[in-house]
Amino acid sequence: GASNSGPGAAPAGGHHGAGSTGTGGTGAGPGTGQRVICTELYRQGLMPREDWKLDLWYTQNYLSRQHIIGYWYYAIPMVKIMRKNKLVTNIWKHIAINRTQDIKWRLGKGKFNLLGRLYSTVLETTANILGHFVKEKDYTVLYKGEKQW
């Protein structure tokens, strides 16, 4: 678990996710490799920085390595699609907005959001199950040749 002061500190500091699940030395920024869909939404200006940082912090502190590996399995190809397809991007934006509300609720910082609870349950369970059966993917393929922020 994490301390009560943690989630509030993440948006301001943003250092909580550094290096934990990345492959190291990629220059991808603090924890960005953990959450490639939310990072893509943030990069496109579709997710507020505060929500993006909270998602990175939550992943770092509450989700297992198996969750991350399973998430990457579907999320890395999804980001490639998002970069070419606005409809797919908008669907993930909708999911991310609701899931962020669920994270805030779970941390005692927001109201209950049924859709967010549903998305979180389905996506986290799917990622966790996949993570036990699939090979780890390299998220850095999404950022080759790019200068990181």
Quote the pLDDT of residue 111.
97
Q: Please give the DSSP secondary-structure letter assigned to residue 26.
A: S
Nearest to 149 by CA among 7, 9, 14: 14
Q: What band does 16 get if pLDDT is binned at 50, 70 and 90?
A: very low
Quote the pLDDT of residue 18.
32
Task: Give pLDDT tens digits for 26-79.
Answer: 334 445 568 899 999 999 999 999 999 999 999 999 999 999 999 999 999 999
Quote the pLDDT of residue 145.
80
Quote the pLDDT of residue 86.
98
Nearest-10 crossing angle of helices 86-106, 36-43: 110
Nearest to 55 by CA among 122, 3, 111, 124: 124
Give CA 8 to chain center in angstroms: 17
Q: What band does 109 get if pLDDT is binned at 50, 70 and 90?
A: very high
Asked if residue 1 has pLDDT above 90, the reply is no
Task: Answer yes or no: are the C-beta atoms of 118 and 94 closer than 8 Å.
Answer: no
Q: What band does 85 get if pLDDT is binned at 50, 70 and 90?
A: very high
